[in-house]
A and B are shown apart, each in its own frame.
Chain A
Amino acid sequence: MNLKQVQTTCPYCGAGCQISFTVDTDANKIVEAVPADGRTNAGTLCLKGHYGWDYLNDPQILTKRLRKPMIRKGGKKSPLVEVSWDEAISYVAKRLTEIKEKYGPDAIMGTGSARGAGNEANYLMQKFMRACIGTNNVDHCARI
């Protein structure tokens, strides 16, 4: 078993706790999480920090992990069909372009994400909405 240690920031709440993970790189699985000496958490963690990581092992408890791009090819009520990334990306690009041409850029709304995604993805999302779509219709769940 090859193990590595990685320190990262907890994905829950705004306290910004640092956690030190032991990862089994052969099995591609997390083995253990212990508190690290971060500025805000100083070697302590709550229950989510201690025990909130095994969802990464896709336990199939509440919801299914998404693994492939999917499209409803026959409209709203039709089933989701797995497609390739190329097809998914060009389909989204085509539909958004059509809507933008027909109704204008303000007919499109986008969200950022206050959760897992990270700052860089949020930056790109608002850049996409503003520079590519041409609207300031971008917001996230800080309000909710």
Chain B
Amino acid sequence: MSMGIPEIEDSGCLLCFGYNGADSHPIVARRIVRGKQKGMKIICVDPRVTETARISDIHLQLKGGSNLALVNAIANVIWSEGLTDDAFIREHTKGYDEFIEVIKEYTPEYAEPITHVPAEEIRRAARLYATTKPAMILYGMGVCQFSQAVDVVKGLANLALMTGNFGGPAMGIGPVRGQNNVQGACDMGALPNSYPGYQNVTDPKSREKFEKAWGVSLPDKVGCPITHVPRRILHEKDESKRIHAYYIFGEDPAQSDPDLAEVREALDKCDFVVMQDIYMNKTGLYADVILPATGWGENEGVYTCADRGFQRIRKLVEPEGDLKPDWQIIAEISTAMGYPMEYKNTEEIWNELIDLCPSFQGATYEKMEKYGCVQWPCRDKSMEDKGTPYLHKDGKFATADQKALFYGTQWHPPLEKENEQYPMTLSTVREVGHYSVRTMTGNCRTLRNLEDEPGWVQMNTEDCRRLGLKKGELVKILSKRGYCITRCLPTDRVTPGATYMTYQWWIGACNELTIAELDPVSNTPEYKYCACRVEKIEDQEWAERHVQELYEDIRAQMGIHTGKGAKA
């Protein structure tokens, strides 16, 4: 995020795009609510009536999969009505004219049939955003989990650039990262194309620096993204590229990745699968080796929150059992393979890595201890450098000439369209009381009692009436790739023809249905759009029993044999 989370409530106008803070980050949603109370204008772009949409000044309830058409149309209005910040564009950006060539044709009238948003509403939103300062954009998975994702992110950045909304507090553009340490995993270079601190593996200078620090020669070509792994195991013809071993650390691809049938086949065919985790999970069923690690609350370390803030995590309780911290397990394997890694504690590792990353160099443990949180960039170890609340100060960008670049791209429709057999669409969303694949929150008593298997499918009340479905009834939901059983939740917050399922469930596992089509740049799957069909189950008693049995089976596979706790 270019801004800090606390700044949100001080913005003049928030464009909230495909981001449902109330379910994914209630404490960020709190800032939005407070902003509203302070007079902030809200434009919400979402196919559902989210909590933010409910309190917004303008809600653009667009058709799923039309993001870029809408973003380009907003840009078109700002340009054609002369609402741009010309001085900012002149002094701090490049590529504006080429960008205008692309968005010229995206008049609100052109976008209306694609987005299902009335042209006049698009105009109203564009005017409000462009004429209120400071204006901020927040976006979430409703932007990222489409096959056209990176283009939309650039499209949103274009809006901030053409209105001069960079360089000060409470403005700019912010992806609100979903999981607690997604930002941190990226910062640390758990990415196929970059070393820690966003230093590119294809850049010879960066590579030399890391080669020198680590005392080995390093590969120069970009590695395999996680979403390519199933096909690189199953279908790769080039023997030098085929994957034979998969070391899975703190992830559960057999639950969280798209098209689960393909993932299971891949894990089954992979020669050697190592799983390092805290709880048994679905991936564990395919693992050749399981390495038990200490979890949050049992070890020390640092997380990075969504607005670039480094914060300490601390040990609360002593781990019970034969467990080791993750870093120690990795270090021991490396040492056993002939590349010694010896560290006494996490601070030693931290000190090694910040010295390799100029933008993190000043963020010492001492500073985190003293200030609680240090937002990168923090370049200087002196206690005076407390980090950077917002990026691009004075309109200076992290490019060679400090100028930002406009990128105009054409909208294209989602890859799988509704058809006769699968007339509805499915989008995956988050459950507010559960986290990720649920191995943590599913083992928390009250959270489990609030929501449990098999989850819900949110459907428009009209669709429910047509299919004869009542609230709480078990239904079957199918796509070309698979099916699952879940409960029906009729609601007028979703439009007819659309369905939404939370991705936390093992029985109501929506990723049995999702499509493994990827954004060509980010390689993020299109979780937010695939074609599906909902079927009524006539024998509800059988369905309830069946769900109960499935739950018992899964729990037994996960090593729980007591029969307690199953209340699906």
Q: Which residues of A contact B (CB under 8 A)?
A: 6-18, 21, 23, 28-30, 38-42, 44-49, 51-56, 58-72, 76, 80, 85, 88-93, 95-97, 99, 102-144
Tell me if B245 and A108 are in contact (CB < 8 A): yes
Tell me if A95 and B187 are in contact (CB < 8 A): no
Across the interface, name the chain A residue whose C-beta is closest to B141. Answer: A144
A95 to B411, CA, bound (A): 47
**Closest chain B CB from A109 CB (angstroms):** 5
Tell me if A139 and B224 are in contact (CB < 8 A): yes
Tell me if A113 and B185 are in contact (CB < 8 A): yes
**Closest chain B CB from A48 CB (angstroms):** 6
Across the interface, name the chain A residue whose C-beta is closest to B440. Answer: A55
Per the 8 Å Cβ criterion, residues 225-280 of B in contact with A are: 225-227, 229, 232, 239-251, 256-258, 268, 271-272, 274, 277-280
The answer to whether residues A139 and B225 also contact, given A61-B445, A112-B185 and a CB cut-off of 8 A, is yes
Tell me if B432 and A14 are in contact (CB < 8 A): no
Of B224, B336, B524, B525, which is within 8 A of A93 by CB?
B336
Of A44, A109, A127, A141, which is within 8 A of B30 by CB?
A44
B534 proximal to A (CB < 8 A) = no
A16 to B352, CA, bound (A): 24
- Using an 8 Å CB-CB cutoff, how does the interface string of B8-43 with A read, 1 for contact, 0 for none? 000000000000000011111010000000000000
The answer to whether residues A131 and B245 also contact, given A62-B438, A121-B301 and a CB cut-off of 8 A, is no
Of A15, A99, A139, which is within 8 A of B244 by CB?
A99
Across the interface, name the chain B residue whose C-beta is closest to A16. Answer: B305
**Closest chain B CB from A13 CB (angstroms):** 5
B537 proximal to A (CB < 8 A) = no
Tell me if B337 and A48 are in contact (CB < 8 A): no
Interface of A is mostly: mixed
A116 to B332, CA, bound (A): 20
Q: Which of B62-70, B76-84, B190-198, B482-490 contacts A (4 or more CB under 8 A)?
A: B190-198
Tell me if A139 and B191 are in contact (CB < 8 A): yes
Of B4, B256, B312, B322, which is within 8 A of A68 by CB?
B322
Tell me if A39 and B312 are in contact (CB < 8 A): no
**Closest chain B CB from A132 CB (angstroms):** 4
Tell me if A117 and B326 are in contact (CB < 8 A): yes
Of A124, A131, A141, which is within 8 A of B256 by CB?
A141
Per the 8 Å Cβ criterion, residues 189-228 of B in contact with A are: 189-193, 195-196, 201, 210, 214-216, 218-219, 221-227
Tell me if B318 and A28 are in contact (CB < 8 A): yes
Contacts of B441 on A, CB cut-off 8 Å?
12, 48, 52, 55
**Closest chain B CB from A137 CB (angstroms):** 4
A91 to B291, CA, bound (A): 11
The answer to whether residues A124 and B297 also contact, given A14-B177, A109-B229, A136-B201 and a CB cut-off of 8 A, is no
Contacts of A144 on B, CB cut-off 8 Å?
226-227, 256-258, 524-525, 527
Tell me if A47 and B432 are in contact (CB < 8 A): yes
Total contacting residues, chain B, CB less than 8 A: 156
Tell me if B445 and A89 are in contact (CB < 8 A): no
Q: List 25 A-B contacts (CB under 8 A).
A: A8-B312, A15-B26, A23-B316, A40-B6, A40-B27, A49-B27, A54-B443, A59-B443, A63-B439, A67-B323, A69-B291, A69-B292, A76-B268, A92-B247, A107-B245, A109-B247, A111-B249, A111-B251, A116-B250, A118-B184, A119-B304, A124-B331, A131-B334, A136-B192, A138-B189
A138 to B285, CA, bound (A): 22
Tell me if B224 and A16 are in contact (CB < 8 A): no
Tell me if A63 and B181 are in contact (CB < 8 A): no
Given contacts A39-B373, A54-B445, A111-B250, 19 further A-B contacts (CB under 8 A): A13-B179, A15-B5, A16-B180, A16-B373, A59-B444, A60-B562, A60-B564, A62-B560, A67-B321, A88-B291, A107-B242, A116-B278, A121-B250, A122-B185, A130-B219, A132-B334, A136-B193, A136-B222, A144-B258
Tell me if B280 and A111 are in contact (CB < 8 A): no
**Closest chain B CB from A23 CB (angstroms):** 5
A118 to B326, CA, bound (A): 9
Of A29, A30, A88, which is within 8 A of B289 by CB?
A88
**Closest chain B CB from A17 CB (angstroms):** 6
A130 to B433, CA, bound (A): 37
B383 proximal to A (CB < 8 A) = no
A42 to B332, CA, bound (A): 40
A92 to B288, CA, bound (A): 9
The answer to whether residues A113 and B291 also contact, given A9-B303, A18-B311, A23-B316 and a CB cut-off of 8 A, is no
**Closest chain B CB from A22 CB (angstroms):** 10
**Closest chain B CB from A134 CB (angstroms):** 6
A67 to B229, CA, bound (A): 28
Tell me if A72 and B565 are in contact (CB < 8 A): no
B188 proximal to A (CB < 8 A) = yes
A117 to B320, CA, bound (A): 17
A99 to B278, CA, bound (A): 26
**Closest chain B CB from A64 CB (angstroms):** 3
B281 proximal to A (CB < 8 A) = yes
Tell me if B26 and A46 are in contact (CB < 8 A): yes
Contacts of A104 on B, CB cut-off 8 Å?
240
Contacts of B185 on A, CB cut-off 8 Å?
112-114, 119, 122, 140, 142
Question: Which 4 A/B pairs are nearest by Cβ-Cβ distance?
Answer: A112-B190, A16-B305, A113-B250, A118-B301
